[in-house]
Amino acid sequence: MQAIRSILVVLDLSQPEGLALKRAKLIAGVTQSHLHLLICDKKHDHTAYLADLQKSLQAEGYTVTTQQLCLNTLHETIIAAQQEEACGLVIKQHVPENPLKKAILTPDDWKILRYTPCPVLIVKTDTPWTEGTILAAIDVGNSDAKHRTLNTSIIANAAEIARVAKANLHIMSAHPSPMLSAADPTFQLSGTIHARYLEQCQSFAEQFDLKDSQIHVEEGPADVLIPHTASQLKAAVVVMGTVARTGLSGVLIGNTAEVVLDLLECDIAVLKPDDVLDHLESLIEQH
């Protein structure tokens, strides 16, 4: 959080609550980050509105720039602005898609999570983070270096949010059901699977001085357990990771972060592994 120097705030004038800007102001107030305000619209001129908003925010002590841009798609517009301004975080208010439309087309917010080459915060409520609960959702099923690095990044960012917001940090991981056909005997019994996942979570918890009561390991699909655990804990924000999937597999499979987006009743911050960020950067440079 502290390393972020510039925040891209996607303004959606059809959402009068202005949740993205409210959250961005709170984060910028702590991190001293620059705010770059973006309106994606080609039908109307918002120059006067942006100028007034910039003046108002500058009077409050923020450094602010503004932009109106509209490319072929919303996510392409956001990524172009993020790259141009070298923003380290994108903040956008969640817009629920019509279920029928979502069944046919990939929702805009999914594409933003999938393709944006920096962390993304999707804001769903105006619930204060202060003195609330911050939930870091990690996948400890893979113990290779890449997954450990991503998990550490997820917890470190969640811990930083908790520190700044004087909130409580919890971590969770979902583990699969036992499979009698599994080659590894560990995965043939529910108890041994749970023990392995709990041990992995505890190793992360020790790094951040977390107690056992702040660790949650349960059996079941992550896209079900993450919203369930967040609801139980009344989490203000869930911090999790995702991977970038392109092509047909991306359309058919999706990511856990995308699936839980509509199910969560709180904000969601999504991070990516460094190699995925590098891949996305290289794809952008090719266009």
Q: What is the pLDDT of residue 130?
A: 92
Which amino acid is present at 205?
A
| Listed ranges 94-98, 130-134, 239-243, 272-276; the one with the highest mean pLDDT | 130-134
As a CATH number, domain 6-93 is 3.40.50.620
Least confident range from 91-100, 158-167, 260-269: namely 91-100
Quote the pTM value.
0.88
pLDDT digits (tens, 9 = 90+) for 115-126: 898 999 999 999
Instruction: Supply angle C-alpha 119, 250, 239, rounded to 5.
Output: 30
Structure tokens at 25: 């102001």
Burial of 35 (0-12, 13-18, 19+ CB in 10 A): buried
pLDDT digits (tens, 9 = 90+) for 167-199: 999 999 998 776 655 556 555 567 778 888 899
Please list the alpha-helical segments (H only) found in 45-97. Answer: 47-59, 74-85
Q: Sorting pLDDT into bands at 50, 70 and 90, what band is 248? A: very low
The domain ranges of the chain are 6-93, 133-281
More confident residue, 186 or 59: 59
Terminal-residue alpha carbon distance, the chain? 30
Q: Rounded to whole angstroms, how far apart are CA atoms 161 and 133?
A: 10
Per DSSP, the three-state class of 86 is coil
Q: Rounded to whole angstroms, how far apart are CA atoms 256 and 278?
A: 21
Q: Which CATH architecture has domain 133-281?
A: 3-Layer(aba) Sandwich (3.40)
Residue in this structure with the two tokens 């705030």, named with its chain if needed? 9
Whether residue 251 has pLDDT greater than 50: no
- With contact defined as beta carbons under 8 Å apart, do 42 and 76 qualify? no
- Give the percent of the chain with pLDDT over 70: 84
Which of 245, 242, 218, 243 lies closest to 229, judged by CA? 218
HSE (CB half, 13 Å, CA atoms) of 67?
A: 20
Same fold, 6-93 and 133-281: yes
Q: Sorting pLDDT into bands at 50, 70 and 90, what band is 143? A: confident
